[in-house]
Chain A
């Protein structure tokens, strides 16, 4: 950039600015500005033409006045005139004024565009840069319309200067962000990707920002960038610090570029090509190795740059989640940072570890740092770091260390910051419930929790204790004893009184044998707290008293006395008064039988989602607790609740818990969920309110539209249509939360040999990488069937919900029967063909039990949904169904015939499928057998 020469200093401007600076008051400043504005107006109005210098000076003054916060409504024309100047300084001021002041709907925009066009087509690189900067700064739709076609050409042209290329790349990025529909990369795609190979590091750095943005929207088109990025990265990583000269920052080669490359790679799944992958793994290892080397400089910039790359690399490793070795190494590296002097590093390390803890490969490695994390929780000075430490403890908790972690969190609660106490309480409550091995521990923990941080224990927490105590009879006695002891403390929290009142009212009889806790002692203890409590608690206590009358008839007179007292029966609170009156009457009128019936022990609570989890979710939003964890927590919580109905042995047997640990690694609902896990899913499907994943797929064999997947965050709807060997599938992604999903990407992969059997091209319909809360976006997938197939393609969805990365893999409901073309034929045709397909491998037969009622109409509908033609009056037995159809694939057509013989008495079916290809008949038979 040419330096501003001394003679160009604009003295008038300097004087004006120093005048303004010297103004004593706002009024004086306004006066000075008014004077200057009048002066400029008279100059602009003046009859003689101004020379470039004064024009520049006045425009500069106007700009300064505007930046001081005053309205400027003239001078635009003069600024536009400056654009056509040949002097750099004048042109620059002109562009500056326009970038700052011209709004997009100005009528001058045409003139400006014209000037920009001239500069873009000039061969002067500085002018081109100025013009590009102006476009990027204004970034309006009009600008995009005018230049979106031009800029890619400049970007990829061979003779463009490097500095212009940089500006062009960033300018294009800006335009793409404002109006993505106008920036069509199309033919430029591959050339833009190849900018990654550019000699000039600046160009690569600029281009990579563009490519990252573009590939988030169209991952497929930019797929080729992965291998280029990997090779670029490996070149940088393996280079000595002196190789890159200008781009070495405090002995770290090209740190910004490296970070951007790593971030770009995070948009894609691990590379499939072995060589590329190997190279990438090598790079990541080198980065991890470098972190171990002694620092080359003591400067903070050196370590900052190094750590930036390291953290980006670790996020990539976490993103891939497939290299156990790297994950463990990353974890160890983070472990070192946990004790680092630098607060930011400790924070980042804890945060990254939180995500690492949810990976099956590194969970154990994370657990080794438990002591350090606990220490951080206790001694860390910065509250945000302590918060992360608490999050990490929560994330790393499992059956093996639950007791320790819960104990530590409890002890931390006493000194915790007020802002995070409630959340801590919820977490402790959840962990205690989730990993409770024996219930006495659970009850102890929660009562401790109420004792320590009673104010922060929300209603949900103590509701939950009571639910669990009521549902589990083996813990009731212990609970009664414990609360009785807890209530003996001279000062106890109201929540404790609530729990105590409820539990003693229900199960006080279990400890009444001990003279130290005789009924009257229990009652007196409770009643001693009565006057200190709020109205709702008092109401609860009154109910406890009436329960006492039922449990211990000997207390009846004492309690009636209490109820009869003026402070109860004439209480100013309506609720309390009503309870007192009703309970008094009930106790005096009703016989013991009636009393016993009315005041029977509470029935077990229905099993449902733990209310605490819902509370935590509500409180935290996406927060640091990943949804996977929540899902898992819910299931394990369910296990605890469901313990009663399953005989209570499940919690002590090791196998289900091991399975659950296994589940943690995968997303909550995957098509490939382990079968042991699906047992649990089935057990708790009511709570989760969603069919198991295989059921999803089964549903879609006979229909084309419906809901493919649904959880608390996301709903995926599907709509599909098929013709011949082609199909089109509309996927609707609905964000069920109020928080936006960012970096939302989906990829469709065909595992194994399916790739050669099915071909699909998918396109996004103007889809943003973020989905607003409550919004729905649509994706279209085109499918072409090349030849018959049996497996289904996989749909992988990744997005960030709050901080947590969500990863889902689903099977797309594409089955071979979708490509059926119905064929009508007469009876004898059918049997003729049937006989033709008589080779043993062409026939597939299955005899199976009916899963649903054998309703003829339902069966018919299902068979029609299958895609074949249902042939009436063909089979001699009217009960039987026969169908015929041709499967259309690109390679061949496969004729298929089907016969379904229901047996109503035995509730059995016999299904026979014959087709010209053995694999087809087998697959069809499998698919259909699940349907009836």
Chain B
């Protein structure tokens, strides 16, 4: 179980320190002597934040104490424990903690943390008890931890909160009413790729999320359907759908998925249907991963030629590979340059390209690009001869973009809402669906 939680700024100064168990102090008292809590704090600062070599492992073991950390911009969050805990649980908690903080005060920054000092302690008291994670649902938390001054709640309200938080459906309170029943559904995917210079896919996968924002009255029962291969095949066998060949092509194989706690897992296990009573407001319904039949929105074709010891010629072509009616946005191609670059000349047809010395790369930005098009950049890089014989490692060319479809091929088939007690039907609910495909680590070797 988590023994303590610390938040550091980039200098390694402790902003938040919350100790749940005394054992983490004792763990370090023997190794260094002196005051206990301070030691655990210092150990992490000395060994991770100020470490001479960059620490890449998110788990560090110092004096038999484990430190699990995540970094958000310049802020380090570290969970400390003396015990053999489930690391996945600890990280899940840390991510949740980040989500909660973002939901309360926006971006996690030193400034924000300092301004919401009391709030964070209050949250930490609530979501972690003696090191055991508790309810970290933002919606539920917001009912009783508020940022507006102290508002004394009536007895009824208090008992309502208690019954909700401790009840079976802890994520939704009763008696919600909206004039317009509305529902937003976003499918957000990030596509990762590593491609060889010859255009061979070395590895590719998509990790996606289904994020919902619901403004529904009462306690509605929802059912979500998508083109999951298993479901489609089952239905195909049942002979309910029209063309099995067509549905086979359009269905996708999901490698693994996780759901929000509101989803009834027993039903998913038996019927593979996703049914739930949604929380109010924004939440992440599910997360999934696919590795097969991925639509790669862009293809990068690099050409690098070394001309003597002091010159390098680079030509990069990008091709968009989706329906011409769709538009990709925020395209950025990053071409690494050797460390001894002394000058760069760039020519490009479309967008803007610039040599960024601070990042040792040429950055080429295109605002918009339609499908089935191609564009090209060529650059001449001058090199300074060095006395080092080390060869340039040729790091891969990376790319960023945003496309309005799901590269995994996922399609939302339906989202049905039933509210038997209140008299609005599925047809009265206004539903919005949006697909966004972003680049994750999208690299091509050159």
Contacts and interface: CB of A to CB of B under 8 A. Distances in A.
B343 A24 contact: no
Interface in B323-358: 339-343, 357-358
B384 interface: yes
Interface string A33-45: 0110111011011
Contacts of B10: 24-26
Interface string A65-104: 0000001011010000000000000000000000000000
B387 A39 contact: no
B83 interface: no
B74 interface: yes
B359 A45 contact: no
A74 B343 contact: no
B388 interface: yes
Interface string A249-273: 0000000000000000000000000
Given A25-B10, A74-B340, A45 B384 contact: yes
A211 B359 CA distance: 54
A107 interface: yes
Contact of A34 (B357, B387, B388): B357
Given A25-B74, A73-B340, A74-B340, A35 B386 contact: no
B321 interface: no
B343 A42 contact: yes
A107 B387 CA distance: 9
Given A24-B74, A25-B10, A45-B342, A74 B384 contact: yes
A442 to B, nearest CB: 38
B359 A41 contact: no
A665 to B, nearest CB: 44
A32 B357 CA distance: 9
Nearest to A32: B358
B246 to A, nearest CB: 49
A73 B343 contact: no
B360 A45 contact: no
A712 interface: no
Contacts, number: 51
Nearest to B343: A42
A25 B340 CA distance: 24
B357 A35 contact: yes
Contact of A41 (B74, B384, B387, B388): B384
Nearest to B385: A74
Nearest to B389: A73
B382 A34 contact: no
A214 to B, nearest CB: 37
Contacts of A108: 387
Contact of B358 (A35, A42, A73, A106): A35
B388 A73 contact: yes
A43 to B, nearest CB: 8
A191 interface: no
A106 B342 contact: no
A31 interface: yes
A73 to B, nearest CB: 4
B266 to A, nearest CB: 47
Contacts of A32: 358
A262 to B, nearest CB: 40
B358 A41 contact: no
A377 to B, nearest CB: 24
B70 to A, nearest CB: 16
A906 to B, nearest CB: 78
A38 B358 CA distance: 8
B382 A45 contact: yes
Interface string A896-913: 000000000000000000
Contacts of B342: 38, 41-42, 44-45
B341 A31 contact: no
B386 A74 contact: yes
A76 B358 contact: no
A73 B74 CA distance: 31
Interface in B43-94: 54, 74
Interface string A41-52: 110110000000
A885 B237 CA distance: 122
Interface string B116-133: 000000000000000000
A313 to B, nearest CB: 40
Interface in A477-523: none
B371 to A, nearest CB: 35
Given A41-B340, A74-B340, A34 B74 contact: no
Contact of B359 (A24, A34, A76): A34
Contact of B357 (A26, A38, A71): A38
A38 B357 CA distance: 6
Contacts of B358: 31-32, 34-35, 38
Nearest to A43: B342
Interface centre among B340, B341, B342, B359 (most CB of A within 10 A): B342
B387 A76 contact: yes
Contacts of A71: 388
Contacts of B340: 41, 73-74
Nearest to A45: B342
Interface string B128-171: 00000000000000000000000000000000000000000000
Contacts of A107: 387
A38 B360 CA distance: 8
Contact of A45 (B343, B387, B388): B343
B282 to A, nearest CB: 30
A47 to B, nearest CB: 11
A37 B340 CA distance: 9
Contacts of A25: 10, 74
A362 to B, nearest CB: 40
A24 B73 CA distance: 11
A71 B386 CA distance: 12
Contacts of A44: 342, 384
A45 B360 CA distance: 17
Nearest to A30: B358
B391 to A, nearest CB: 12
Interface string A10-25: 0000000000000011
Nearest to A108: B387
A73 B382 contact: no
Contacts of A73: 339-340, 386-388, 390
Nearest to A35: B358
Interface string B362-384: 00000000000000000000101
Given A45-B343, A45-B384, A74-B340, A39 B74 contact: no
Given A44-B342, A45-B343, A31 B384 contact: no
Nearest to A25: B10
Interface in A587-619: none
A41 B385 CA distance: 10
A45 B344 CA distance: 12
A752 B386 CA distance: 69
A822 B385 CA distance: 76
Nearest to B310: A45
A71 B387 CA distance: 12
Contacts of B390: 73
A106 B387 contact: yes
Given A25-B74, A26-B10, 10 more contacts: A34-B357, A34-B360, A35-B358, A38-B341, A38-B342, A41-B340, A74-B385, A74-B386, A76-B387, A108-B387
6 contacts: A24-B74, A25-B74, A38-B341, A44-B384, A73-B388, A76-B387
Interface of B: 10, 54, 74, 339-343, 357-360, 382, 384-388, 390
Closest CB pairs A-B (n = 5): A38-B357, A45-B342, A73-B388, A31-B358, A35-B358
